[in-house]
Amino acid sequence: MQFAPGGQTWREETREAREAFHEKLRTEREKFLAELRAKKEEWKNATDVRKRAFCGVATDIVKRRFGVATGALEAIQARVESAIEKLTDEGKDTSAAEEALDVSEAKLAEAKEKAEDIKALIPEGGCKNITPELFEQIKTLAREAKDLLKESKESLREAIQALKDLRGKTDEDESQ
């Protein structure tokens, strides 16, 4: 990785990129909440058919899509963890990768909790009884879980980049 003019380190660049990423998520979240308020009003007038369709989609998202996403992230996290262990055994400083992996694992655990909360909110078979408030809660929790998955993926990407940088440094050091 190249360093920027003025002596800015990789950690500073990563921190700035992370802050920009979080700011983007915040602005998207605010926009989503404004749209959600409008959809909540529409929900009050929705038919039973639409409510049942929403319930089916929400159940599918929680059971299948979040499950696939969390499974994939967990598999990659395990591979990154083994790569960290290997580089640690070689005497490399893997603290940046470990920090990023820890953040990724924490965000993934939070996303799983949100998905479980959504499962608890979705009524069994009685989707026509969903209130606008319950609809709003489900949509908000789903968005929060999605954002947490994005943050977990981004932190995992940072961990992988840190590992790549460590491997790149060893190749350069050996050739000199």
Per-residue pLDDT tens for 116-141?
Answer: 888 888 776 656 667 778 878 888 88
User: How far lies 38's CA from each of 35, 42, 56, 146, 158, in Å?
Assistant: 5, 7, 21, 20, 36
Of 12, 3, 20, 8, nearest in space to 154 by CA: 20
- pLDDT higher than 90, residue 19: no
pLDDT in tens, 79-111: 999 999 999 998 888 888 999 999 999 999 999
Separation CA 62–CA 66 (nearest Å): 5
When comparing pLDDT for 143 and 40, which is higher? 143
